[in-house]
Amino acid sequence: MQAVQNFYDKLADSYHFIHADWQESVLRHGRILRALLGELHAAPPRTLLDCTCGIGTQALGLALEGYRVHGTDLSPRAIEQAQANIQHFEIGQPITFAVADLLSPPANPTEYDIVLSCDNAVAHFHSDEELSQAITTMTMQLKVGGVLLISLRDYDATVQNPPRTTPVFVNDGEAGRRVVFQVWDWDEAFTAYQLQMFIIRQQGDEWLTEMHASHLRAWQRTAITKALEKSGLTAITWHMPESSSYYQPIVTAHKS
């Protein structure tokens, strides 16, 4: 997972540029996820582990909603950024962050009422074995009766007409214009792709270009469901954007 860590270490300082307004995204994601968790009888102030928290987009939003949040991520730089981002919000509940790797299970895991992994993080696990290990690590940190929540791209739909690029996102702010888009190079079977994310920023009369590359697996929903079942999880349910209002499909499951 060193390549994945490097990807997010380098991206951490610019990650917020992929949002039109990152702080507003934090608030919106928190509201939507809290509503869904409430429907699953997991309302705050329950304990929650965001095990792929990045710079804190969902972790901070859910802390603002009243959950007692601990966020972990593979990237030390992303964790530093998440800790720094606490200052942008008035959070009444405790929130902490630490570095952790889902492919290296903790020897003495703390158990949480809710464990979540959002923003397509599971696509960084390339094999069935890696996916199974990651979900096993999530499950061992979940209390009996707790809820696991994962979001990822709708790859079931995507592979029907595999795109070469994502739409170009242009945002004009006080600091100038920024342009974000991705280029995808698919493998022959359309099961995985090499991503190149371009972030182009205006600084006065100059333009700065960043490119961040990573390899992602286009997991189908049946494969995710199978891995969840293998970990002994039950009540596996898919929530599509039209019903959840979240921007990606979400799968939830319970630990019996």
Question: Which amino acid appears at position 199 of this protein?
Answer: I
Query: What digits encode the pLDDT tens for the residues 95-146?
Result: 999 999 999 999 999 999 999 999 999 999 999 999 999 999 999 999 999 9
| Dihedral sign (CA 37, 233, 112, 19) | negative
Same domain assignment for residues 62 and 79: yes
CATH code at 184? 2.20.25
Integer-rounded Cα Rg, in Å, for the chain is: 18
Q: Please check whether residues 12 and 90 belong to one and the same domain.
A: yes
Please state, rounded to an integer, the average pLDDT across all residues of the chain: 96
Q: Are residues 88 and 39 in the same domain?
A: yes
Q: What angle do CA 116, 14, 51 make, to 5 degrees?
A: 15
Token pair, residue 215, equals 């390899």
**pLDDT at 214 > cutoff 90:** yes
pLDDT at 174 over 90: no
Question: In terms of domains, do 117 and 212 share one?
Answer: no
In the three-class reduction of DSSP (H, G, I as helix; E, B as strand; rest coil), residue 113 is classed as strand
Cβ partners under 8 Å of residue 160, min gap 6: none
Residue 78 has pLDDT above 90, yes or no: yes
Q: Are residues 125 and 244 in the same domain?
A: yes
Return the closest-CA partner of residue 152 out of 80, 235, 216: 216
**202 and 134 in a common domain:** no
Collapsed DSSP state (helix, strand, coil) of residue 155: helix
Q: In terms of domains, do 42 and 117 share one?
A: yes
pLDDT over 90 (residue 92): no
Q: Does residue 204 surpass a pLDDT of 90?
A: no
Range of the domain at 178: 157-216
CA 221 to CA 225: how far, in whole Å? 6
Are 211 and 229 contained in the same domain?
Answer: no
Domain count, the chain: 2
Assess whether 85 and 195 both reside in one domain. no
